[in-house]
A and B are shown apart, each in its own frame.
Chain A
Amino acid sequence: MTKASRRRFLAGAAGLSAVAAGSAIGRAAPATAASEGSPASLTALREQNLLGALQERASGTGPGFGLPSAISVPVIPEADILPLIAEPGNDATLARMQEELARALEKPIGERRWTMAIDLKKCIGCSACTVACIAENHLPPGVVYRPVLEEESGVYPNVTRRFTPRPCMQCDEPPCVPVCPVSATYKRPDGVVEIDYSKCIGCRYCMMACPYAARYFDFGEHYTDGTPERQPYEESPAPEYQRDWSRESVEGVVRKCQFCVHRLNAGMLPACVATCIGGATYFGDGNDPESLVNELLASGRAVRLKEELGTKPKVFYLV
């Protein structure tokens, strides 16, 4: 089976959104609960100001895809969900990060250091961030900036699963940068590792060098290829780095997560942070001693992936 026919098979079997959502559908109980109506238990959630965000996600008005209500998914008992998402002050956390973002934007770019912290104890593996990112950055098939890795450990009955979202680490010593023969990828003053899609020659050496497999080659494919009509949304320009990249301009180049700098510069948190159902992703200015991310990094729980390589990622995991 060729790649294209395998993709068509996948798309046909599970529906386009389901493919884009990866394994998210089966675990998307919160969104389903919201789309199924407002049982009394959800009123309590509304009081904690969380339902609005959930509805935004479910209806597709916010970043990320809405889930088609026709897809039936198992309903996870509410008692299992609440401890994960209804942490007191979750939206206060979002508001605080938002404020810190505004504060950071007042500084010159070179004085900011965008930093992310992902709490592995809070991530429920729903892949909402993965899908929000795909929608935000208009990613084609085969390009996914933030997949969520799953690990199962333990022996029955003491079994547990851990979910690890994997964005680009925006390394401070990025192995992907020096190998680029045309300087198409470089470290920005705010710490984000950028790829200039208009310069990239598509040699893919940077993909070889990245120890986190965080770079993706855009093969120029479309989800609706092989269907009666290619859908216009697949042709819409990508907003990355605050430029409108036409579909053709990013075909044949290497792409990756850039912390949604186009959103940051507009005063918005990255799409994955804003949509994280578990409230597991924190974001802020690492140079701001008062920032929430800095507080979390000082908690003693922060580790980085493959620390031993010396790449100095700007994405931390709270374990």
Chain B
Amino acid sequence: MAVANHVGPRALSPGLPRPNPWTLALGVVWLAAFVAGLAGLAERLSNGHQAADYGSYLTWGLWVAVYQYLIEMAAGAFLIAAAISLLRIRPMERFVPASLLLAITSLLAGILTVWVDLGRMERFWRVIFYPNWSSIIAWVVVAYTAFLIVAAVALWFSLRAPLAERASGHGWRASVAKLLLFGRRDTSSAARARDMKVVRVLLVIGLLPAIGFSGGEGALFGVVGSRAYWNSPIFPIAFLASAIVTAGAVLTVLGAFFLPGRARTNGHGVVFLARLTLGALLALLVLEFAQYSVGLYGSIPAQQDAYEEILQGRYWWNFWILHLVGGAAIPLAIFALRSASPRWLTGASFLAGAGMFSVRLNAVIPGQVLPQLEGIERAFADPRLTFDYFPSPMEWLVSLFVASVGVLLFYAGYQLLPIGAPAEAEEPHPAALQGGE
């Protein structure tokens, strides 16, 4: 992602990023990730799933974890936008369009991931035209569609007035703005107020699919009775909490480093978002404690085994080091010690958001490593019929491709649209911006 160097009024219509070394370096990293990802995708498309490391006993691998991470990011971003708008947190309103853009782009990237994970990619349309309503996947697809439509329309209304302002200028951005306005160029405060009302209504409507598919992802696992670890009613709620952590972290980092006006006007928002992120992280830890303690101390051996596998099994480091230490203890310690510093809080938020990926891996992989039937992996000798799994290079590269496409989509939206410009021009609180470093 490139960096925009604008502050103040110019921030409302960002220009092309200046080719400074920072921008250039990020651009090169992105390009390298994209090209490497393309190589992985080429392998996936030419040889199917053959280069993947999962098999028939451990069936879902890295891509399912990536997919869930991105879907959670989408749901979380939408929930944050809705909370800001509906609770009328004025200084935060400049984050609403960015949240909505993040929600749309991360959902698209998530859908791309799960599409690549299908055995027969060319048949994806069957889910849309021949859905089986008893399957949660079918409902989740409906929720995605509704979500995308609602989020896109809400984004349009939240940007209509800034687009109209931009359309009166010159250059390609003005032309794009004109195109996107569909002739609605009224920038009066009455029109802006109307827009915001529509945005609020849409955000309320969108809550249903957002909660639906975020919780639905949890339910997708929760209803699998054959896997003791997933068969827990806490899963759908924990998914919602981690959705807020994931999206909150991304928005904090975007606000601190990338969105227009980052230094002068985003400080207050960054602190708010980081606190929200870390609060949701705390909630998630409480839910996890409830889930793990019941699972471990309940007297159902199959469940105990699953939790012991997570805590002491072959992926112990994922839980203890990546999730608990890197993704929870360190960010919360920073929060406790440096709760007023935007810079420290951004770092803490970043760690919490990155740590959520290990939560996703933990939800997908250890849940599968216990055989449904004792000794099934020894009944027939084949590398696909084992419970050993570590993502193959192709799986990592395809994940990199998906991530770089997500970044590209967001960056394209950021360049084309006046992201960061609140529909109701609110002056942020400069006093909150510099504090506590």
Task: Give residues in A with beta carbon < 8 Å to B.
Answer: 2-4, 6-7, 10, 19, 22-23, 130, 141-144, 147-151, 166, 175, 178-184, 199-205, 207-213, 215-221, 251-254, 305, 309
Q: A183-B130, A208-B226, A309-B225 are in contact. Are A166 and B373 (CB under 8 A)?
A: yes
Min distance, Cβ A300 to any Cβ of chain B, angstroms: 24
Contact for A166 among B118, B134, B376, B384, CB less than 8 A: B376
CB pair A2 B224 closer than 8 Å? no
Inter-subunit contact B49/A212 (CB<8 Å): no
Alpha-carbon gap, A150 to B381, bound state (A) = 13
Check if B378 is an interface residue, CB within 8 A of chain A.
yes
* With contact pairs A213-B371, A253-B119 given, residues A208 and B49 touching in the complex (Cβ less than 8 Å): no
Q: Closest CB of chain A to B364's CB: distance in Å?
A: 10
Neighbouring B residues of A220 by C-beta, 8 Å: 47-50
What are 5 A-B interface contacts by the 8 Å CB criterion? A147-B376, A151-B375, A200-B120, A205-B135, A213-B56
> How distant is A208 from chain B, measured CB to nearest CB, in Å?
5
Assess the A209–B224 pair: CB atoms within 8 A.
yes
Let me know if B372 is at the binding interface, CB within 8 A.
yes
Majority SS at the chain B contact face? loop
Pair B138/A181 contact, Cβ less than 8 Å: yes
B268 at interface by CB-CB < 8 Å: no
Bound-state CA distance A301–B50 (Å) is 43
CB distance from A106 to the nearest CB of B (A): 33
**Would B385 and A201 count as touching, CB distance under 8 A?**
no
Contact (A217, B224) CB under 8 Å given A182-B132, A205-B137: no
A182 touches B59 (CB 8 A): no
Please report the C-alpha to C-alpha distance between residue A215 and residue B57 in the assembled complex, in whole angstroms. Answer: 9
Q: Which residues of A contact B8 (CB under 8 A)?
A: none
Q: Complex formed: what's the CA distance from A147 to B120 in Å? A: 26
Encode B32-62 as 1/0 by CB contact (under 8 A) with A.
0000000000000001111111011101100
B53 and A201 within 8 A (CB): no
A181 lies within 8 A of B383 (CB): no
- B371 to nearest A CB, angstroms? 7
Q: Which of A178, A183, A219 interacts with B384 by CB under 8 Å?
A: A219
The answer on a CB contact under 8 Å between B373 and A305 is yes
Is B141's beta carbon under 8 Å from chain A? yes
What does DSSP make chain A's interface, helix, strand, loop or mixed? loop
Nearest 9 A-B pairs (CB), nearest first? A202-B119, A142-B384, A252-B119, A211-B226, A147-B379, A181-B137, A178-B134, A3-B383, A183-B132
Interface residues as binary, B299-326 with A (CB distance below 8 Å gives 1, 0 otherwise): 0000000000000000000000000000
A144 x B376 contact (CB < 8 A): no
A217-B373 in contact (CB<8A) = no
Asked if residues A179 and B119 are in contact (CB atoms below 8 Å), the reply is: no
> Which single residue of chain A is at the shortest CB-CB distance from B372?
A213
Q: Which listed residue, A142, A166, A180, A217, touches B383 by the CB 8 Å rule?
A: A142
In the complex with contacts A200-B120, A203-B118, A144-B137 CB distance below 8 A: no
- For residue B374, which residues in chain A have a CB less than 8 angstroms away from its CB? 149, 151
Q: With A180-B135, A203-B137, A209-B224 in contact, do A149 and B379 touch (Cβ < 8 Å)? A: yes
Q: A149-B373, A207-B59 are in contact. List 16 more A-B contacts (CB 8 A).
A: A3-B55, A19-B382, A142-B56, A149-B378, A180-B132, A181-B138, A200-B123, A208-B368, A210-B226, A211-B372, A212-B373, A217-B55, A219-B52, A253-B119, A254-B119, A305-B373
